[in-house]
C-alpha cells in the first residue's frame, strides 16, 4: 500500500527511547554509544544518531529515566526552556540591555519560532540553553577577561557540544561573531577559539572511539538543498503563538520540507525591534552577522517555492570543509541568527519610551506566546510487557523508519530486528524483508490498532495467513516462534 505508515509517527518516540537506552546501558555497565538491542546479532553504533548526550546522561544519573523515560524527556524540555530564558536574560544584559530589555529577550528566546519548531521534534536542538550560555560568557570574557568567565565558557561549550554537534558549530561561529561585532582584542578571542577547538577535538574523540562501525555521516551535498530555508519564510509571523491561533496560520507552508526545518523566522516583532537598534545605534556589524547566518540557512543553492534555482550560496563553501560536509539541515543556522536578533531586540526595547515599550511587549506576547504544545499518545500495548527481554522481535508492517515501535521496546527491553537511525550506514541498506527475516525471530507482532480502517484492511489481507488463530476483533496479532 503506497505511502502507508503509522499515523502521527514522530521523532519524539525515538527520543524517549534515547533516555531509556542511555539509562539502561549505564545501569548494565554498557557503552551507550553502541546498542546491542537492535539489528541482532551484531548491534549498531549510535554515535551518529543525534542523541542529546548531555540531557540523557543527566537524567540517567538522576535515575528518572530508568523509572520513566517519557517523564525524563518532558522534564528535559521544561528544564531546557527555563534555562534558555535564564541565560537569554544574562546574554541581553551583557550587551547593555536593561532589566526590561533582558526580559524581552528572554521571552523572545523561550518562544523563538525556530526553537519552538524543534521543541516539537528535536529536543537536542530545542534545548539550546548551553549555546546561549556560551554566547553570554564569551561576551563577558571579551569585556572583562576574568578567569571565571573563561572557565564558565569552557564548561558551557562542553555542554553545548555534547547536547548537539550543531550547538558546537554555532558556539564557534558565535565567538567569532561576538568578537567581530565588538571589535574585541584578538588575543582574548584566540583564547576562546582554543577552547572551541579543544572541545571539538574532545567530541571528535568521543565519536571515533565509539565501538562498532557507524559508517560515515557524509552524504550527497544536494540533500542539504531540500532541508534548507527559503527567503520568504523569514518574513512570516510565528505560527505557534496567539496570533497564529487566532488567525489560523499554518505551521507548515507548501514550500517547506516540514514544520521543523521550515519555520525559521525569529518573529515579526523581533525583526521590527532589531531594525530599530540597527537604525538608531548604527549596529551594522550586528546586522551583517544576523543576515549572514540567515543566508547560511538558505543552504547551498537558492530555492524559491520549493524549486532549486541553481544559484550557489555561501553554504556551498562550508560543504567543502571536512566534518561540516556532514550537515544536511542548513535551516538550523536560523536558530543562532534568531538568538542574536532577539538580543538586538532586547537592546532596542531598553531604548524605548514607556508607551512604545508597552506596545512592543503586547505585540511580542500576542505573536509569540505559546499557550500549549501538542501531546502525542504514549500507550504501550500490554502484550509488549509479556515479551521476555531476551526475545528478538519483528514488528510488521516492516518499516525501519517507524519511530513509535521504539517506544514499545522500552516495556521490557526486548531485542528488535531493526530500528530507526538518523544516519543509516551503507552496510544496512540491504536487509531481509518479511517473511524472510522471521527465521531469526522469536516474536512477530502486528499492531493492528495503530492503523486506520483502510490500511488495516490491506495489512490484514497480507498478514492473515501468518496469524491463523487471530480475528478482526484483536488489536494486536502475535506469532511466537517455536
**pLDDT tens, position by position, 284-320:** 999 999 999 999 999 999 999 999 999 999 999 998 8
Over residues 152-181, mean pLDDT:
97
- Report helix, strand and coil shares of the chain as percent, to nearest 5: 60, 5, 35
Mean pLDDT of 153-177: 97
Q: pTM for this structure?
A: 0.94
Sign, CA dihedral 159-161-166-167, equals: positive
Residue 222 exposure: Cα atoms within 13 Å on the Cβ side? 5
pLDDT tens profile 90-146: 999 999 999 999 999 999 999 999 999 999 999 999 999 999 999 999 999 999 889
Q: Are strands 44-45 and 34-35 parallel, antiparallel or unpaired?
A: antiparallel
Closest to 144 (Cα-Cα) out of 152, 98, 88: 152
Q: How far apart are CA 341 and CA 347, in angstroms?
A: 10
Q: Which three cell numbers stand for residue 362?
A: 503586547
Rounded Cα gap, residues 152 and 139, in angstroms? 12
Query: What's phi and psi for 393, nearest 5 deg?
Result: -120, 140
Q: How confident is the model at residue 1, as a pLDDT?
A: 43
pLDDT tens column, 331-368: 999 999 999 999 999 999 999 999 999 999 999 999 99
User: How much is the pLDDT for 161?
Assistant: 97
| 76 alpha-carbon distance from chain centroid | 13
pLDDT classification of 67: cutoffs 50, 70, 90: confident
What average pLDDT does this structure show over 250-266?
94
Whole-angstrom Cα distance, residue 316 to residue 472? Answer: 54
Amino acid at each position: 500500500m503506497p505511502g502507508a505508515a503509522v499515523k502521527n509517527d514522530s521523532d519524539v518516540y525515538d527520543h524517549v527511547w534515547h533516555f531509556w537506552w542511555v539509562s539502561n546501558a549505564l545501569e548494565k555497565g554498557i557503552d551507550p554509544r553502541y546498542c546491542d538491542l537492535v539489528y541482532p546479532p551484531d548491534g549498531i553504533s549510535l554515535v551518529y544518531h543525534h542523541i542529546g548526550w548531555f540531557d540523557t546522561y543527566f537524567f540517567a544519573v538522576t535515575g528518572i529515566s530508568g523509572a520513566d523515560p517519557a517523564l525524563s524527556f518532558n522534564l528535559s524540555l521544561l528544564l531546557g526552556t527555563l534555562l534558555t530564558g535564564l541565560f537569554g536574560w544574562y546574554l541581553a544584559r551583557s550587551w547593555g540591555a536593561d532589566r526590561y530589555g533582558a526580559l524581552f529577550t528572554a521571552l523572545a528566546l523561550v518562544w523563538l519560532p525556530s526553537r519552538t519548531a524543534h521543541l516539537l521534534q528535536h529536543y537536542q536542538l530545542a534545548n539550546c540553553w548551553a549555546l546561549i550560555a556560551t554566547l553570554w560568557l564569551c561576551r563577558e570574557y571579551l569585556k572583562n577577561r576574568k578567569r571565571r568567565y573563561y572557565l564558565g565558557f569552557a564548561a558551557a561549550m562542553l555542554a553545548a557540544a555534547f547536547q548537539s554537534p550543531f550547538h558546537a558549530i554555532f558556539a564557534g561561529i558565535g565567538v567569532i561573531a561576538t568578537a567581530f561585532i565588538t571589535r574585541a582584542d584578538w588575543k582574548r578571542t584566540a583564547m576562546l577559539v582554543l577552547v572551541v577547538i579543544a572541545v571539538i577535538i574532545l567530541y571528535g574523540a568521543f565519536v571515533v572511539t565509539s565501538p562498532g562501525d557507524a559508517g560515515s555521516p557524509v552524504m550527497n551535498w544536494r540533500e542539504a538543498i531540500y532541508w534548507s530555508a527559503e527567503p520568504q519564510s523569514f518574513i512570516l509571523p510565528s505560527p505557534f503563538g496567539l496570533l497564529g491561533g487566532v488567525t489560523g496560520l499554518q505551521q507548515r507552508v507548501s514550500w517547506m520540507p516540514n514544520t521543523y526545518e521550515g519555520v525559521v523566522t525569529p518573529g515579526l516583532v523581533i525583526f521590527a525591534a532589531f531594525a530599530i537598534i540597527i537604525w538608531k545605534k548604527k549596529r551594522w556589524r550586528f546586522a551583517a552577522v544576523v543576515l549572514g547566518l540567515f543566508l547560511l540557512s538558505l543552504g547551498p543553492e537558492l530555492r524559491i517555492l520549493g524549486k532549486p534555482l541553481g544559484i550557489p550560496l555561501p553554504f556551498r563553501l562550508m560543504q567543502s570543509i571536512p566534518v561540516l560536509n556532514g550537515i544536511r539541515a542548513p535551516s538550523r543556522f536560523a536558530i543562532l541568527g534568531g538568538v542574536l536578533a532577539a538580543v538586538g531586540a532586547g537592546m532596542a526595547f531598553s531604548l524605548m519610551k514607556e508607551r512604545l515599550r508597552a506596545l512592543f511587549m503586547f505585540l511580542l506576547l500576542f505573536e509569540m506566546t505559546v499557550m500549549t504544545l501538542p501531546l502525542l499518545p504514549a500507550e504501550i500495548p500490554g502484550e509488549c510487557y509479556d515479551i521476555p527481554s531476551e526475545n528478538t522481535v519483528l514488528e510488521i508492517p516492516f518499516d525501519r523508519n517507524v519511530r513509535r515501535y521504539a517506544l514499545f521496546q522500552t516495556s521490557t527491553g526486548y531485542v528488535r530486528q531493526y530500528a530507526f537511525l538518523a544516519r543509516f550506514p551503507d552496510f544496512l541498506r540491504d536487509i531481509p524483508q518479511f517473511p524472510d527475516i522471521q527465521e531469526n525471530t522469536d516474536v512477530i507482532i502486528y499492531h493492528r490498532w495503530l492503523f486506520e480502517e483502510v490500511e488495516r484492511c490491506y495489512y490484514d489481507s497480507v498478514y492473515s495467513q501468518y496469524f491463523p488463530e487471530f480475528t478482526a476483533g484483536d488489536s494486536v496479532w502475535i506469532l511466537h516462534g517455536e
